[in-house]
């Protein structure tokens, strides 16, 4: 039987110091990017806008987010599931706070080697792609 694939949209949100915002859902141990599952009829940008508002109280114009890429990986918290993710990136201005199912927020230093607490999608695919994009932008 093939694994269930969850379609999600997430965001790499960087603060003024170049740190990446990561979140941890209640009852889980791995940090991941803010965002979530697409609802029926939603585009990835619409889903991301809704999820960012629900999870961290952030309202951001989709024009402020650039597409980083489309990635597929093992799901962090659902056994036998995969995620297929549209990942966006942008700069974060303003405060965010954990709400809804989010239990914790953290700021990840991009040059750190400590990554065993990160979801597979973020650790294995998104971080390397983000670092390549930031290096190319100079």
CATH 3.90.79.10 fits 4-137, yes or no: yes
What per-residue confidence (pLDDT) applies to 113? 67
Whether this prediction's pTM lies above 0.85 is answered by yes
CB-CB contact of 106 with 31 (8 Å): yes
Question: Domain map of the chain by residue range?
Answer: 4-137
What is the predicted pLDDT for the residue at 62? 80
User: In sequence order, what are the residues at sequence separation of 6 or more whose Cβ sits closer than 8 angstroms to the Cβ of residue 107?
Assistant: 15, 17, 19, 20, 21, 22
Q: How far apart are CA 9 and CA 27, in angstroms?
A: 21
**Tokens 């740190």 label which residue?**
19
CA 80 to chain centre: 20
* Interval 88-118: pLDDT, tens: 999 987 889 999 999 999 999 987 766 778 9
């Amino acid at each position: 039987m093939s694994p269930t694939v969850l379609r999600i949209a997430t965001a790499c949100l960087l603060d003024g110091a170049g740190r990446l915002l990561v979140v941890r859902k209640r009852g889980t141990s791995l940090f991941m990017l803010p965002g979530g599952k697409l609802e029926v009829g939603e585009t990835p940008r619409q889903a991301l806008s809704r999820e960012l508002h629900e999870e961290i109280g952030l309202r951001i114009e989709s024009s402020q987010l650039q597409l980083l890429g489309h990635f597929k990986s093992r799901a962090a918290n659902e056994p036998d599931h995969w995620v297929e993710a549209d990942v966006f990136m942008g700069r974060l201005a303003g405060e965010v706070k954990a709400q809804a199912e989010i239990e914790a927020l953290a700021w990840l230093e991009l040059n750190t080697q400590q990554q065993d607490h990160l979801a597979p999608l973020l650790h294995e695919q998104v971080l390397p792609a983000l670092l390549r994009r930031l290096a190319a932008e100079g």
